[in-house]
Amino acid sequence: MAGASPEPGPYLFSGRSTKPVTPPSQHTGRDPSTPVRPPRSGYCDVRYSGSTTGRGIAVGVTPGLNVHQGSANQGSAHKSDSERSSAAQGGADSTAAAASHEIAFGVDIGGSGIKGAMVDLRTGDFVDSRIKIATPSPATPHAVAETVRTIVERAQWAGPVGITLPSVVRGGIVRTAANIDPSWIGVAAADHFRDALGLDCAVLNDADAAGIAEDRYGAASDVDGAVMLLTFGTGIGSAILNHGMLIPNTEFGHLEVDGKEAEHRAASSVRTRKNMSWKHWSAEVSRVLVAIERLVYPDVFIVGGGISRDSDKWVPRLTNETPVRVATLHNRAGIAGAALMAAAPGAVLQPQPHSPARS
């Protein structure tokens, strides 16, 4: 069924789900007794091969959308014969594994570290140990691409690679640069990484990748509707998925809330800098969530970032209406979401058939 078009299904902005979210309490993590939502059509049997196809979807460029892929057909020509031979030998095991199992490779680029791992797309778990290298300084496009190449070569991976950037990536072009060098702005990111790695690459915003992973494998895996992830760190990152389909490049951290940007009120860094009590800081988070509810009103909020590890100190204090759950994947989320995007962008960028299992 390679190249088959998806059947008609729920589209972006098609309305909120009529299925209510009923967690065990208003603000909590996912109930362990709740069964995980069955995989959506398009997620199953994703395999890497010469044609890079998945069941019912074509894994490739999705025209007009803001997660961009670069093909390695030309990129491999930038390597010497000896390099291609070495890559073919070193990556034989990983390519074979990806062909027989549902495995892809994800890389998460952060301000302090660049991490990569092979990911089992059925579970979101790492297949092998995560590889981490310090982010180069300055984090220029060339320096970062060389670091990503080192990680991929250490893993002996020879399939498609998904890569996150702390940036808005629109039409394949980097539009913003947070915690990386400003010279990234204007770079055709997927093509840049393809040329460096000689492999097919998909590039997306880091919060979007985390949202994809939490929706598919984590705290929202049983939610059939609109999911919003918010990550609280130096700023506030955001991602929205509707019935598993990503709406890329949202920036709710910059939403004005009572005369001040949301992340200037409620980022984790604000609490640290101002030495705010958990009670005071959670009140600021509530103000942000209420402001978002006036515009979007998702079925569930997922809250992440390092501060989510202390969720028992602030999540129960939140006073907004929408249920709030705590992210479960933590530092796995970006890598897992990137890997899924590399292997099957259609699974999160195109309308998917409604599965009876999700009714």
Domain ranges of the chain: 53-209+333-353, 222-327
What's the pLDDT at 7? 35
Is the pLDDT score of 159 beyond 50?
yes
- Within 10 angstroms of residue 312's Cβ, the number of other Cβ atoms is 10
Angstrom distance (rounded) from CA 117 to CA 293? 35
pLDDT tens digits along 229-246: 999 999 999 999 999 999
Taken in order 153, 68, 58, 226, the sign of the CA dihedral is positive
What's the pLDDT at 162? 97
Residues 88-96, mean pLDDT to the nearest whole number: 48
* Predicted confidence band of residue 248 (pLDDT cuts 50, 70, 90): very high
Residues 44-59, mean pLDDT to the nearest whole number: 28
Domain 222-327 is of which CATH architecture?
2-Layer Sandwich (3.30)
Q: Return the CATH fold of 53-209+333-353.
A: Nucleotidyltransferase; domain 5 (3.30.420)
Q: Which of 226-240, 264-278, 342-356 has the lowest mean pLDDT?
A: 342-356
Pick the closest to residue 295 from 320, 270, 260, 268 (CA basis).
320
What's the pLDDT at 59? 29
Residues 310-339, mean pLDDT to the nearest whole number: 97
Do the domains 222-327 and 53-209+333-353 match in fold?
Answer: yes
What's the pLDDT at 346? 73
Residues 286-307, mean pLDDT to the nearest whole number: 96
Token pair listed for 287: 């103000």
Is the pLDDT score of 3 beyond 90?
no
Is the pLDDT score of 74 beyond 90?
no
Residues 81-104, mean pLDDT to the nearest whole number: 52
Is the pLDDT score of 9 beyond 50?
no
* Predicted confidence band of residue 81 (pLDDT cuts 50, 70, 90): very low
Average pLDDT value for the chain? 78
Question: Would the pTM of this model clear 0.85, i.e. be above it?
Answer: no
Is the pLDDT score of 209 beyond 60?
yes
Which residues neighbour 349 within 8 Å (Cβ) at sequence distance 6 or greater?
62, 65, 67, 245, 246
Token pair listed for 111: 């301000």
Is the pLDDT score of 49 beyond 70?
no
CA distances for 154 relative to 74, 116, 128, 160, angstroms: 23, 10, 12, 15
